[in-house]
A and B are shown apart, each in its own frame.
Chain A
Amino acid sequence: MLNASLMSATPPHNIIDIQKIREQFPALHQHVHGKPLIYLDNAATTQKPQAVLNALAHYYQHDNANVHRGIHTLASRATAALETTRHSTQQFIRAADAAEIIFTAGTTASINLVAAAYGQAQVQAGDEVIISHMEHHANIVPWQMLCQAKKATLKVIPIRDTGELLLPTLEKLLTPKTKIVAISYVSNTLGTINPLKEVIQQAHAHGAIVVVDGAQAAPHLPIDVQDLDCDFLAFSAHKAYGPTGVGVLYGKRALLEDMPPYQGGGEMVREVTLAHTTYNDLPYKFEAGTPNIAGIIAWQEALNFIRQIGYKNLRAHEDELLTHALDLLGNLDKVRIIGTAPNKIGMLSLIIEGVHHLDAGMLLDANGIAVRTGHGCTQPLMDFFGIEGVIRASFAIYNTKEEVEQLAAGIARIVQQKT
């Protein structure tokens, strides 16, 4: 049962004022089924601060114009704002060059772009692509498709029961035929932070490039693509307080230069005749068609939000929530925690013995608590643990210890009533 003394523990003095932060998020202030909303599905998508919402509206109200195409005032305002965001995104992940930042629709679109364009050009029959057992479907299926089309082999880095990579096996998996290692920085189901630098160094030593799925890293960890030395990095704005429909693909300039275009259309071309087309420079070569202008411009505000808080504070707060959740739920009878790596972000997946996760999710929702239930787009990982799905609570900067206590109480009630 829940320990009463843990429930009432006084929070240590915080450097950041969570209540002030919460005020910036209008969607948090509502009731669901008559109960105050407790939003713990942040790994699926975070709520958006008012500044992001304002930027979306402001663009459509004042600056709406297509980018890179017109010489009129609105077009140049929109273009300038979009390019400013590109530079901020470059700084956000410490890329060497803004031309290495390609805007896409999201992580999925970014990974597919690399698999299709780089894979098309570089992977031949008999070659190998390596992924890990903990990948999101978005970092599995595009590689399966590529391997199938090219008659290449897909290999998998196994994991431990704790939800950590079995790193020593990587050395054995890598061969001169390995062209690509595609791996997540942070697992979206386990929260595990993978030892990326080691993976990248090993892959490079064997001549393979590394594609990083950074979808769950961007909201929680400072990313330095030059320090990591990754070749490609994909992430989504909407998981890091930004709007939906905006993603980023970072690629090393030399690789992007060599890579054939992915989609053809406007924006990505320099000159088109009916016989022949020459392509535009980076990054436009990979940005065919009108992008999500409003979303990209508003993403700037999410970047500002994260910078103002700082990753140190973010991590400290989310770690505190995780520790509190583990104190309350870690030893609860009938509750099994899935993902116990020592190095993980503020995320807790669990199963309740004898209770289906969908049933538990419905009961939590009846109490205003939003969690993810299901396989989390990581079915191979579910197979590894021999389960069908999990209940996942994932924390963001605006979550509170009281909310974690409500979650724990909700789960304890389900255990009590239903097992």
Chain B
Amino acid sequence: MKKIVLPTISAIQEEIIGEFQTLEGDRERMLTYIMDLGEQLAPMDTLYKNEHNTIQGCMSKVWLTYTRQEDRLFFEGDSNTAITKGLISLLLRVLSGQTAEEIIHANLYFVGKIGMTQLIGSQRSSGFANMVKEMKLIAIAQKAERGA
């Protein structure tokens, strides 16, 4: 079995913070950057874009699925808007491929550091929080299942 070697959650967050620093707080550049990330995200198979995989409470439509390999979780996500896709892409970069344990305890401080709430507004931020919550719930459920 090949061992998966991934940067830690904090290392990835530092990377993201660094990338946003180069945008110098320029709102339009930050949004465009996030949208570009969204456009690069591989689209999800429409098969998975169903009610079951829909995350509630987001302004845009958001779908999330996952697969498990050993104790690691691999997420896939999509949205109908580029900005939300970009936000998903950031989340996947940080959390996808990590262990359930790490996901459950992840402190996503990069969100505050890059000024996400000011950037996307409170309504979208709560949608973003719902995405994080959903990923953590999946991790909790998976951990419980494996432990059982």
Chain B: CB-nearest residue to A358: B81
User: With A358-B59, A358-B60 known to touch, is A366 a contact of B31 (CB < 8 Å)?
Assistant: yes
Taking the closest CB of chain A, its distance from the CB of B121, in whole angstroms, is 8
Q: Which residues of A contact B81 (CB under 8 A)?
A: 356, 358-359
Q: Is the CB of A418 within 8 A of B27?
A: no
Contact with B along A31-53 (1 / 0, CB 8 A): 00110000000000000000000
Q: Counting CB contacts under 8 A, is B83 at the interface?
A: yes
Contact with B along A313-355 (1 / 0, CB 8 A): 0000000000000000000000000000000000000000001
Q: Counting CB contacts under 8 A, is A14 at the interface?
A: no
A359 to B84, CA, bound (A): 9
Q: Is the CB of A356 within 8 A of B27?
A: no
Q: Counting CB contacts under 8 A, is B22 at the interface?
A: no
Max count, chain A CB within 10 A of own CB: residue among B31, B60, B82: B82
Q: Once A and B bind, how many residue pairs between them come within 8 Å at the CB atom? A: 30
Q: Is the CB of A356 within 8 A of B28?
A: no
Contact with A along B68-99 (1 / 0, CB 8 A): 00000000000011111000000000000000
Contact with B along A353-380 (1 / 0, CB 8 A): 0011011001100110000000000000
Q: Counting CB contacts under 8 A, is A3 at the interface?
A: no
Q: Which residues of B contact A356 (CB under 8 A)?
A: 60, 80-82
Q: Counting CB contacts under 8 A, is A417 at the interface?
A: yes
Q: Counting CB contacts under 8 A, is B35 at the interface?
A: yes
Q: Is the CB of B60 within 8 A of A363?
A: no
Q: Which residues of A contact B120 (CB under 8 A)?
A: 362
Taking the closest CB of chain B, its distance from the CB of A362, in whole angstroms, is 6
A359 to B28, CA, bound (A): 11
Q: Which residues of A contact B32 (CB under 8 A)?
A: 363, 417
Q: Is the CB of B82 within 8 A of A359?
A: yes
Taking the closest CB of chain B, its distance from the CB of A374, in whole angstroms, is 9
Chain A: CB-nearest residue to B25: A34
Q: Which residues of A contact B60 (CB under 8 A)?
A: 356, 358
Give which listed residue, B35, B59, B84, contacts A418 with CB less than 8 A: B35
Contact with B along A372-403 (1 / 0, CB 8 A): 00000000000000001000000000000000
Chain A: CB-nearest residue to B82: A359
A355 to B32, CA, bound (A): 12
A34 to B26, CA, bound (A): 10
Chain A: CB-nearest residue to B26: A366
Q: Which residue numbers of B lie inside 8 Å of A, CB to CB?
A: 27-28, 31-32, 35, 59-60, 80-84, 120
Which 3 residue pairs spanning A and B have beta carbons closest together? A366-B27, A356-B81, A366-B28
